Amino acid sequence: MHDNHNIVWGGIFTTTKFTEKWSWHAEYQRRTVDGIKNQQQNLFRTGINYQPNKKLLFRVGYTNAETFPYGAYPLNALGKIYSDHRAFEMISIQDKISRVDLTHRFMLEQRFVGKYSSASLTKEDTHSFLNRIRYMFRMQLPLQKKVSSNHVPYLALFDEIFIGFGKNVGENVFDQNRIGVLFGYKFNDLIKIESGYLSQIVQLGREVDNKNVYQYNGGLMLNTYFNFNFLSKSAN
């Protein structure tokens, strides 16, 4: 069984650098379905980065996601809003082949997902603990040759797979997959934007009429990135 949706995902991502190796990450994402008509999810994520060199980055942090009921088969079986509190650990590895930048990102999440013990409740009264691992591969190609990386458009392609594991995982050991094709532009060292198409496949954690249910979501992704560097400011 399946359900199809048009989606629009927008996000603001910030990195604030305090030292050569330590920085703070924060992001907010608003995700909608049926264009921008209905809410799909609001997500806030924050974490501390440690970057020992240009190719390797570690991050630990916290995510708060609020997911809304939508479509014929809501993710929550009772068709209610539910919360998802996550601790996470991440490793990002950068590489380069010719002019193509490559990124491998591994993320481990410990999730506390809100549940309702009765359909009559208006507020979650319990949580289920779930584990999930994510792997993303991304390629980025500048669309013109230039000595500086500023004022350069680029094309990015990525694929990310989510796998659930542990005793509380339901039907969705395969949790979801995301594929994106994005056009980006870096204005300067402070700001860049990316926009393009996102395809998302989500498997529900339960069966409906003894069948697995999949969502096939596709639509617009628009992200803005800010990179604040206190080191450069203090040096001026």
pLDDT tens per residue, range 191-215: 999 999 999 999 999 889 889 999 9
Q: Is 202 helix (H, G, I), strand (E, B) or coil?
A: strand
- Cα torsion angle, 141, 143, 147, 149, sign: negative
Pairing of strands 211-229, 2-17: parallel
pLDDT tens per residue, range 142-176: 998 875 678 889 999 999 999 999 888 888 899 99
CATH assignment of 2-235? 2.40.160
Q: Is 234 helix (H, G, I), strand (E, B) or coil?
A: helix
At residue 234 the predicted structure's pLDDT band, cuts being 50, 70 and 90, is very low
Residue bearing tokens 């930048």: 101
pLDDT tens per residue, range 86-123: 999 999 999 999 999 999 999 999 999 999 999 999 89
Tokens of 64: 């708060």
Q: Is 188 helix (H, G, I), strand (E, B) or coil?
A: coil
Give residue 147's pLDDT: 59
Average of per-residue pLDDT across 227-232: 84
Give residue 236's pLDDT: 44
Domain assignments of the chain as residue spans, ordered by start: 2-235
* pTM as predicted: 0.93
As a whole number of angstroms, the distance between CA 11 and CA 224 comes to: 6
Give residue 235's pLDDT: 45
pLDDT tens per residue, range 60-76: 999 999 999 999 999 99
β-partners of residue 50 are 22, 58
